[in-house]
Chain A
Amino acid sequence: MMYYSRPKLAAVLGVCLLGLLLCLPNFVRMPGASIPWRQIHLGLDLRGGSYLLMRVDVQALERERLDSLTDQVRQALLKNGLGYRDLKAGNGAVTFQPRSPDETARDLQVLNGLQGTVPHEFSARTEADGRLALVLSPEALRLRARDAVAQSIEIVRRRIDATGAVDPTITPQGDDRIVVELPGVSDPDRIRQLLGTTAKMTFHLVAEGVSPNGVPPPGVDLLPMQDNPQQKLPVYHHVDVDGSDLTNASVTQDPQTGGPAIAFSLDSVGAQQFAAITRANLGKMFAVVLDGKVITAPVIQGVIPSGTGQITGRYTSESAHDLALLLRAGALPAPLAVIEQRSVGPTLGADSVRAGAISLAVGFVLVVAFMGLFYGLFGWFANLALLANLVLMLAVLSLFGATLTLPGMAGLLLTLGMAVDANILINERIREEVKRGRTALASMQAGFERATSTIVDSNATAFLAHVMLFVFGSGAVKGFALTITIGIGTTLFTTLLLSRMLLVRWYALHRPATLPV
């Protein structure tokens, strides 16, 4: 206990020096461009920026899949000469009433023969009331949702990159959520609008002759016009050309009005489809549908072989620019809804950094002064360890590239306040042993030994509480839990090893008969 071997001494000092080195990049420019120096990142609450939490609309995904499955069922039944009544989608299944109970067996055979997009995507069964059901498996839906989240992240990234935002981070959270962090963006309104648009563009033939009022026949949808939602246009459900075949979209000028328009070009598959459709439907109306709204529905004047076209409408140059951006970046597989947003402007961020730094400095000075006055020389040893503690905390945070938030700064300060508890325990214990009449050496030895288990016990409980906070907390609070948890680790190091070593070295050098306690 009262002796430290040289390697051990060197190791403890080495860790402290390494810590000092690791936290330097936060304050000065480091030499050696090839060395990947790591820094503590300031949280959005300190540097200003926005946090958006978005949810992928999994229900829409399910609805969409059921819709296409309904089509698949209808076509399969018709092809096999089977009849159905009341074919509908809902509650995770496509259901219908067979024409007669005799056909049930053959219906089931047809249903079982359907191909899903993944193995075991659905299963067919007979309901109690004689209806037949094709039920989507929850597992397949979950898979689809996960794919949708992964795809959405890619598309969200493309869209955000196109806005010129610096250092965005986009991460999945849970089953159906995406977190977007945008440093420096204090008004996330435009980005929110961009991300809230699905941008699914499709081309459909207009069902001419169908009344825009009343119930449309099967296979036809009544879609609102974008510029005038009251006005509805009957449009065939069938997608003739899909916007996912787009290769480019850019802002151009409408030759007729001179206003902004969007020029697009399709890839070779899309161009062929486009040519075929325009050839077969000369003189008919062709609707461009974006997110369930008809943007425009021009009459096909001639065959368009090149696969290029123009979308006109009431656009401002900004909205045209955004639409082109969205079309280029691609459609989201499902709608995204923002369910939480937090943004901090640069003013408040700077205020917070100042407030945090002042608190940290004042708190540190107060604790150091108290320890110096309360314990004298041993208190100053504790203060040295405290300084090392602060350095090591910053070093570990830098090493992890962790994010420092305002609550995180509070966590640093509170850790310093709690850290000296270990020194207080040791000092009080040494003092007690001295009062009992032990020699200086025996007192120090007993003090270290007896205090250690208390120090470990008291830190362990605090550790448990903050790990829980880290697991269940979110945002800036996680930063608080992280700094306290790291702080408990560095506290154990600096108090159980470093400050004890300082005392031991001091004793070995001076061999005092009495201790200044």
Chain B
Amino acid sequence: MTSSLLGRPLFRFVKDGTRIQFMRGRFLGLGVSAFLSLASIGLFFYPGLTLGIDFKGGIKVEARTQGPADFARIRQALAKNGVTDAGLQRFGGDNDVLISIDQPGGKDAGSEAATQNLVDKVRKGVSEAQPGATILSADAVGASVSAELFRNGLLALGISLLMILAYIWFRFEWEFAVSAVATLILDLTKTIGFLVITRFEFDLVMVAAILTILGYSTNDKVVVYDRVRENLRKYRSMPLRELIDLSINETLNRTLGTSSTVFLAALPLALFGGHTLAGFAWVMLFGIVVGTSSSIFIAAPILLLLGEKRLRRDAQKPAARGDRKDKATPAA
């Protein structure tokens, strides 16, 4: 019967009443996470992020040639036009060539103008080397703009983290806020490590990807925390460790369900979004996996470490605990 096919859920990620003891592996989880994050920080210093022109300044011209791109001829023609330090690279098909030049100078008017003029030289060089070539895109970012974009990008990241900290603090207790933000910072470092390894360019679009990951990851933690808070009221005498395990298990189907839908939404971007969005989408996919697992393996253990004494004691004295937001429903 088709109606029953559409009418009832076809599958579940975990069975009802699943009770996995995640907190038993808390030190393993924290250890692996710390190792990965430390390794990522190492990668950040060496070899470091591949900065895109948004943040580095310079020129990026994408051209599509008729017939395969002939690098030697293009290089020669560029040199004839006075462009000697261009990097050439294929992207997409054989006909697509990416020409990039690092920022040539400082922030004064002269070097800014020189940066902008390079674009015309590159355009000219490409059309001389390969007649009929079309310029897909041409960007030039001056030194003053790139410095500003970089600063603004970092500001957006930093302020977002602070606001998330403040919001969770306001809605929960400080233990929740601190463990959430600590976890987010661990997520962030791993994402940076991923960027270094994959050599995706770090630019404004990447900052957008990272902020989206932070938003998603916070969302995931808030759901688990919400359940922890509820259970703290419901099970007054349960040890925090068991209580956190219970909360994670109860929300496990939701956690996996939501990460699946977000993953399914981001996947086509990585596969069909074109090279402009591919980096963004792969970082998103990585971030979804990291964000989902960190809710269980990192944020919850940190909460356990921070709150083992405090949260339980508070919960045993309900009068001292301002029942701020939730109308606690008595257990059925």
Contacts and interface: CB of A to CB of B under 8 A. Distances in A.
A425 B253 CA distance: 9
B258 interface: yes
A420 B257 CA distance: 9
A377 B8 contact: yes
Given A347-B64, A356-B273, A421-B219, A468 B159 contact: yes
Contacts of B84: none
Contacts of B260: 370, 374
B216 interface: yes
A359 B12 CA distance: 26
A425 B262 contact: no
B153 interface: yes
B84 to A, nearest CB: 21
A51 to B, nearest CB: 9
A417 B134 contact: no
Q: Is the interface of B mostly helix, strand, loop or mixed?
A: helix
B141 interface: yes
A187 B61 CA distance: 12
A220 to B, nearest CB: 26
B265 A416 contact: yes
Interface stretch (A114-122, A322-330, A332-340): A332-340
Contacts of B207: 469, 473, 477
Interface stretch (B27-35, B40-48, B71-79, B108-116): B108-116
Interface in B109-127: 109, 112-113, 116, 119-120, 123
Contact of A352 (B138, B214, B253, B276): B276
Contacts of B332: 433, 436-438
B131 to A, nearest CB: 16
Interface residues of A, number: 90
B152 A380 contact: no
B265 A458 contact: no
Contacts of B9: 373-376, 379, 516-517
Given A359-B272, A450-B329, A462 B205 contact: no
B258 A461 contact: no
A292 B280 CA distance: 48
Contact of B145 (A53, A366, A449, A465): A53
B86 interface: no
B223 interface: yes
A457 interface: yes
Nearest to A378: B9
A342 interface: yes
A363 B6 contact: no
Given A417-B262, A432-B250, A474-B149, A366 B268 contact: yes
A472 interface: yes
Given A462-B216, A473-B156, A410 B273 contact: yes
Contact of B160 (A192, A465, A476): A465
A395 interface: no
A339 B226 contact: no
5 nearest A-B pairs in the assembled complex, by CB-CB distance: A417-B265, A462-B215, A472-B156, A355-B274, A339-B142
6 contacts: A345-B137, A366-B265, A424-B257, A457-B222, A464-B164, A473-B204
Given A359-B272, A374-B9, 9 more contacts: A45-B276, A343-B135, A367-B264, A373-B9, A406-B276, A407-B280, A424-B254, A465-B212, A465-B215
